[in-house]
């Protein structure tokens, strides 16, 4: 199964093609993944301009056509409003045009998936994943044995209770705010996104509607409320 995976929940604009297969005939939820092609560009202002060209570049590199894609996986955040909606809208457009299912996954889950897939994280440890939420805040979630046990949520770094965590992954400019060992996974990868949706992909489950994890009102709405407060309207 060829899967298109995209994520624009972080400053990294990510697109890739992943081959997904069952690990064994009787293990319908256990997946073997192979990244066929990937493109990542770190530019928080270029999501709309570069995502579709990146997808087309991946198809060209892999020698595949759009009709070879069997499913789409999109990171649904948490992330800033403007960037996040680009990836989700692009994923939905490809799914609609090709008549294939589109699965949404938490972008923090995809980062955690890559950490646990590396096999270097202790089974009894707890992983904290953080990404940039702007406004001097972070999006966060905690994971144990590959499963999310808390979050996602948004908070000031100093207010985040991370005492139960034994390691951290995510945004390079934020992981050092916490006194924890840092694991080298910063953004969602195509493989991590596909792995986070593997059970649904392999069983052919009907996807839930794509719902963005904004976790707070968009900046434009916040600014509008501030204006109303000042004018008294």
Mind listing the pLDDT tens digit for each residue in 156-183?
999 998 889 999 999 999 999 999 999 9
Asked if residue 230 is part of any domain, the answer here is: no
Residues 101 and 132 in one domain: no
Nearest alpha carbon to residue 213 among 145, 158, 151, 156? 151
Claim to verify: residue 14 and residue 87 sit in the same structural domain: yes
The boundaries of the domain holding residue 116 are 109-177
Number of domains in the chain: 2
Helix (H) or strand (E) holding 57: helix 47-62
Structure tokens at 39: 């493109």
Q: What is the mean pLDDT of residues 30-53?
A: 91
Q: Report pLDDT for 23.
A: 66
pLDDT at position 127 over 80? yes
- Residue 112 phi, psi (nearest 5): -60, -40
pLDDT recorded at residue 24: 59
Q: Which residues of 23-38 are buried (b: 16+ CB within 10 A; e: fewer)?
A: eeeeeeeebebebbbb
Residues 13 and 47 in one domain: yes
| One domain for residues 31 and 117 | no
Q: Do residue 166 and residue 209 come from a single domain?
A: no
Chain-centroid distance of CA 127 in Å reads: 16
Both 22 and 54 in a single domain?
A: yes
Claim to verify: residue 55 and residue 149 sit in the same structural domain? no
- Closest alpha carbon to 41 in 83, 95, 85, 82: 83
Report if residue 183 sits inside a domain: no
Task: Give the chain's end-to-end CA distance (angstroms, integer).
Answer: 55
Closest by CA to 70, choosing from 211, 208, 204, 191, is 204
User: For residue 228, what is the enclosing H or E element?
Assistant: helix 219-231
Residue 93 lies in a domain: yes
pTM of the model: 0.89
Rounded to whole angstroms, how far apart are CA atoms 110 and 121?
Answer: 15
């Amino acid at each position: 199964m060829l899967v298109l995976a995209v994520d624009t929940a972080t400053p990294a604009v990510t697109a890739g093609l992943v081959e997904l297969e069952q690990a064994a005939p009787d293990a319908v939820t256990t997946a073997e993944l192979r990244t066929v092609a990937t493109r990542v560009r770190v530019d928080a202002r270029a999501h709309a301009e570069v995502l579709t060209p990146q997808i087309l570049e991946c198809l060209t590199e892999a020698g595949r056509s759009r009709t070879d894609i069997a499913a789409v996986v999109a990171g649904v955040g948490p992330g800033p409003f403007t960037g996040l909606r680009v990836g989700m809208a692009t994923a939905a457009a490809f799914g609609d045009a090709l008549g294939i299912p589109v699965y949404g996954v938490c972008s923090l889950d995809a980062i955690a998936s890559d950490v646990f897939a590396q096999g270097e994280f202790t089974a009894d440890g707890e992983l904290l994943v953080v990404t940039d939420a702007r406004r001097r805040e972070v999006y966060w979630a905690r994971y144990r044995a590959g499963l999310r046990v808390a979050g996602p949520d948004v908070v000031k770094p100093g207010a985040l209770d991370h005492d139960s965590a034994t390691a951290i992954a995510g945004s390079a400019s934020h992981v050092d705010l916490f006194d924890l060992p840092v694991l080298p996974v910063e953004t969602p990868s195509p493989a991590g996104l596909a792995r986070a949706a593997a059970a649904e992909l392999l069983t052919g489950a009907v996807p839930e509607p794509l719902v963005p994890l904004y976790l707070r009102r968009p900046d434009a709405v916040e600014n509008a409320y501030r204006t109303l407060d000042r004018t008294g309207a």
